[in-house]
Amino acid sequence: MFIALEGVDGSGKSTQVAMLCEALGPDTLRIREPGGTDAAEAIRDTLADPGIPLDATAELLLFFAARADLVNRVIHPALEAGRLVVSDRFVDSTEAYQGVARGLGIEVVAELNRIATGGLLPDLTVLLRVDPAVGLERAKSGDRFEAEGLGFQQLVAGAYEDIARREPDRVVAVDGNGTPEEVHLRVMDALREFLGPEPAGTGS
């Protein structure tokens, strides 16, 4: 099973990914996007650096280069081995950030995702719903996308809401406000509703 967590910058994804992986057990594979391979991590460093100018199309293609390497070298082998995979971001981030906020188009993103991943989508995507202004106050990295400011993050948030409306069978929105423990309980509730009463590895 493949699970992704999504949300605006500062939504608490990384914390919730770590907590979810711990709850699901030691065989769960934790990954992040972009990242997860040497090549993808190098691309991540470039994408995160606001001091490196990048054309929007070049930015988009770098995300998909990293994703293709991660999917083919890490995600597919893990899924084929029967492992749970939990990702900090996946293709919905690219639609929200580059397709909508950068104005490159969701159709372009969808086609490039098909090429890069063979059409792979998470079985479940948990969208952490946080006000973009609150997210920016929480965010600390100062990366390329945080540096774009509130208006950009509001476009991203709106794009995520549109994805959730279009794909309710895959995307579940969860209130991302509160303590990490409170949000984790909501994430686990969403997972239980998706899987049934006993998600693998929870021990309860």
Please report the pLDDT score of residue 30 as a whole number. 98
Q: Give the model's confidence band at 199: pLDDT under 50 very low, under 70 low, under 90 confident, else very high.
A: very low
Choice among 10-14, 48-52, 121-125 with the minimum mean pLDDT: 48-52
Query: What span, in angstroms and rounded, lies between the C-alpha atoms of 159 and 96?
Result: 5
Q: pTM here?
A: 0.92
Instruction: Tell me which residue of 155, 102, 157, 95 sits closest to 122, measured CA to CA.
Output: 95
Res 201 pLDDT > 70? no
Task: Say if strands 171-175 and 124-129 run parallel, antiparallel, or are unpaired.
Answer: parallel
User: What is the signed CA dihedral for 184, 185, 189, 192, rounded to 10 degrees?
Assistant: 70
pLDDT of res. 197: 57
pLDDT in tens, 70-106: 999 999 999 999 999 999 999 999 999 999 999 999 9
The proportion of the chain whose per-residue pLDDT surpasses 70, expressed as a percent, equals: 96
Q: Retrieve residue 191's tokens.
A: 């997972």
Identify the weakest region by mean pLDDT among 86-90, 133-137, 175-179: 133-137
Averaged confidence pLDDT in the chain: 94
